[in-house]
Amino acid sequence: MKSSGPPNAGASPLRSPSGFSRLAGVVFAVVVVGAAGAAGCSSAPGRPPDAAAGRGLFQARCAACHALPVPRAFSDVEWRGIVRKMGPRAGLGPAGQRDILEFVLQEEP
């Protein structure tokens, strides 16, 4: 005799449409939060950005591979992209990237 339960009662939650949607939503949320932290989002936990530490990192880490760019040569938006791209190449974690960004964005034009 057949059971009288719902048709998907014995199915894995990941195989049901609603289970997959929930899993996809959780994965999306984790990726978005991780990307925001990696990008130096100001709401990331930890100490506040330190422009003085950023100057030292900028001079040491960036000059190790190429000539130092003039901070005012790029817009705030451009600097955010540059730091996001080059930070990991320079071995900088999120805090170091925030410090460098703080330094270059505070430089007077």
Structure tokens at 83: 């730091």
What is the reported pLDDT for 65?
A: 93
What is the reported pLDDT for 33?
A: 44
Distance in angstroms (rounded) separating the CA atoms of residues 100 and 53 = 8
Residue type, 66: H
Residue type, 42: S
Give 8-27 pLDDT, tens digit per residue: 555 555 455 555 555 455 55
- For 41, residues 6+ apart whose C-beta sits below 8 A from its C-beta are none
Give 32-70 pLDDT, tens digit per residue: 444 444 444 444 468 999 999 999 999 999 999 999 999
What is the reported pLDDT for 38?
A: 46
Is the pLDDT at 89 greater than 70? The verdict is yes
What is the domain count for the chain? 1
Distance in angstroms (rounded) separating the CA atoms of residues 96 and 4 = 60
Query: Running DSSP on this structure, what letter comes out for residue 46?
Result: S
Flag whether 1 is in a domain.
Answer: no
Flag whether 101 is in a domain.
Answer: yes
| Length of the chain counted residue by residue | 109
Flag whether 8 is in a domain.
Answer: no
Flag whether 5 is in a domain.
Answer: no
What is the reported pLDDT for 109?
A: 58
Flag whether 6 is in a domain.
Answer: no
To the question of pTM greater than 0.75 for the whole model, the response is: no
Q: Is 77:45 a contact under the CB 8 Å cutoff? A: no
Flag whether 9 is in a domain.
Answer: no
Flag whether 3 is in a domain.
Answer: no
Residue 58 belongs to domain spanning = 14-109
Flag whether 4 is in a domain.
Answer: no
**Who has greater pLDDT, 83 or 33?**
83
What is the reported pLDDT for 36?
A: 45
